[in-house]
A and B are shown apart, each in its own frame.
Chain A
Amino acid sequence: MAAVPEPTTPEPPAAPPPPPAAGASGAAPTTGRAEAWPPPPPPPPSGRPDPAFVADATVAVRGASVWFGQKVALTDLSCSFGPGVTGLLGPNGAGKTTLMRAIVGLLRPNEGDVAVLERDPHTDRGVQRSIALVPEDEAVPAALSARELVRYTAALHRVRDRSLPDRCLDTVGLVDVADRKVRGFSKGMRQRAKIAAALVTEPRILVLDEPLNGADPMQRVALIDLFQTLGRQGRTVIVSSHVLHEVERLAGRQIVIIRGRLAAAGDHRAIRDALADRPRSVLVRTPEARRLAGHLVGMDAVRGVTVDGNTVVVSSPRAGELAELLPVAARQAGARLREVRPLDDSLESVFRELLR
């Protein structure tokens, strides 16, 4: 797969590239508030930005509800997306794909609305110049070659640069097989062909539904780099994935949807911190493990302590308080701390707890 270099003189995006937003890839994690579901998120404390929203939003979802007959796909969902990479997370059937389809205009919410660049993507054909979708489903025109597919999309978007389709195919590593029919492609190759077809429109807003499905490890790394590059260029990149550790790598900001509702927003650590009423485990490595454990046991913020050799695993219902108490306890115990790290800070654990 061709490397995607940092553009030396990046072409300015359609709008001036704002500073890396909360969700911008590579940006420092936000100190966002996050709410667990249920209950529905309370209003944010005054003075603190709501992590479900970004200041420089290109996509705004306002109270969107979508239902198909008796099945409710989204319920009163409000959030926004801005330049940079944002991960859209949730278990199967959570409503991620429905939200993405609403964002690109393929469906209109039954209630509420979705605005892309302050326009309605369902009715305003002009806004389609700025959006591209890479759908998860396998549907591609099988009779076309990858090159024909990309050139078709380019022609519909009135792309002037005739070499751009081949460069996009090169970017996703398909230029050597560009004349092969898409029907003969593996799932990962089809996905990359669809990504090339999306890239050729040079979208300001790129919506990718499980784009890493079927990609081998090398391709995953290359695609993640590509998405991050696009995010750094000031494009709004919305990526859904169930491969959570990749989303952690890919997106600084995440929107978590569960059962059609906004479950949490922010970076995954902020989301995890918001679940303050749940026990959290911290691993402490110290040669004086038993002594430290003895000091920790009596503390209010500590629910349980396990000692194994030089390792102490502390379970706490209040992670913030533990963070303050641990150095104090270590000093009192005369323990030298070699390592302190949360055991359950991964997105998987956040997910598991949100699902409870």
Chain B
Amino acid sequence: MSRSTALGVPVTAPAGRRLSTPFTALVGYTLRACLPIRRWFGVLLPCAGALLFGWLSASDSRSAEAAFGDVAEIGLFGLVLPLTCLVIGDAVLGADIRAGTFPLTWLSPVGFGTIVAGRWLGGWIVALVSLVPALVLATVVAGVPEGAGAMAIAGAAGSAAYIGLFVMIGAAVRRAAVWSLAVVFLGERLLGGVLSGIAQISPMWESQQVYAGLADDHGGGLLLRTGTPNGWSAVVRLAIVAVVTLAVASWRVRHLKPTGGDE
């Protein structure tokens, strides 16, 4: 039977699937629209790099734990984790803002916090299905399978915080990739290397300390850093970093003046 809406649009179309809730739609949009094929290459490339680091570690003549400790510190937590999260974190919000497609989401009754959380969750899901398995596989390939669980937790917690950080940067500045790289390599790597205060809020150092604390008996202890929380305390610290960065991102999105792609 024919109906008409307020738009005067005739009802001839099939009912279709049930419409999602706003939050589900936001997560779905993040997975479908924010990460096109090219971005997936950007995600999977460092993941492949993680496996190479694992093999590199396996070929080392030292004990598997000692070799993997070095590779994990420099390669996995120092490069693969931040770079993969940068690609994901920038894609889920910063790239959308720069492309001019963000007004589609902004112009809705959905709260800014929900928007940011939905985007972040979408990005984190991507990290959980790509980065975390790659890190775990690298640990196994390196000959330290006992550390795989700790690596999974470190990867999940570290990517949660990192994606939050990059979402925040994407909402705050236009050249998000440049700023993100500066934060990782100048802020975290250089300053965090010498200043414990920075290391304590650095996803790079804290995710490393998650592994160090949880895999203490399997070579992780070699990575322990004094003055920085480790193990589950570091997981809590990373969760706090994620929450704070998302709160700042929400505040920033509230004050955003999104422009169209041609402007």
Contacts and interface: CB of A to CB of B under 8 A. Distances in A.
Interface of A: 2, 4-13, 104-108, 123, 125-126, 128-129, 131-133, 135-144, 148-149, 151-171, 175, 197, 199, 202, 229-230, 233
Interface of B: 4-22, 24-26, 28-29, 32-33, 36, 99-101, 103-112, 254, 257-263
B22 A155 contact: yes
Nearest to B106: A106
Contacts of A8: 4
A106 B103 contact: yes
A159 B19 contact: yes
B261 A152 contact: no
B109 A156 contact: yes
B106 to A, nearest CB: 7
B5 A152 contact: no
Contacts of A155: 19-22, 24-25
B6 A171 contact: no
Contact of B33 (A106, A132, A144, A169): A144
11 contacts: A106-B106, A107-B257, A125-B112, A139-B261, A153-B108, A156-B22, A156-B26, A157-B108, A158-B22, A175-B13, A202-B5
Given A10-B4, A13-B6, A199-B9, 11 more contacts: A9-B4, A139-B262, A142-B36, A144-B33, A149-B104, A154-B19, A155-B20, A155-B21, A158-B21, A165-B19, A170-B13
Nearest to A9: B4
Contacts of B29: 141, 144, 152
Contact of B8 (A7, A136, A137): A7
Given A143-B32, A156-B108, A137 B6 contact: no
Nearest to B260: A137
A223 B167 CA distance: 38
Given A5-B4, A106-B257, A166 B107 contact: no
Contact of A143 (B17, B33, B103, B112): B33
The B contact surface, by secondary structure, is loop
Contacts of B100: 137, 139
Contacts of A132: 107
Contact of A163 (B7, B13, B99): B13
Contacts of A230: 7-8
A140 B109 CA distance: 19
B26 to A, nearest CB: 8
A197 B101 CA distance: 13
A157 B107 CA distance: 10
A5 B20 CA distance: 29
Contacts of B107: 104-106, 128, 131-133
A199 B5 CA distance: 11
Contacts of A13: 6
Contacts of B18: 162
A129 B111 CA distance: 12
A168 B9 CA distance: 7
A170 B11 CA distance: 9
A233 B8 CA distance: 9
Given A125-B110, A136-B262, A162 B12 contact: no
A148 B4 contact: no
A122 B260 CA distance: 16
A8 B104 CA distance: 32
Contacts of A166: 13-14, 16
B104 A197 contact: yes
Given A165-B16, A166-B14, A197-B104, A171 B9 contact: yes
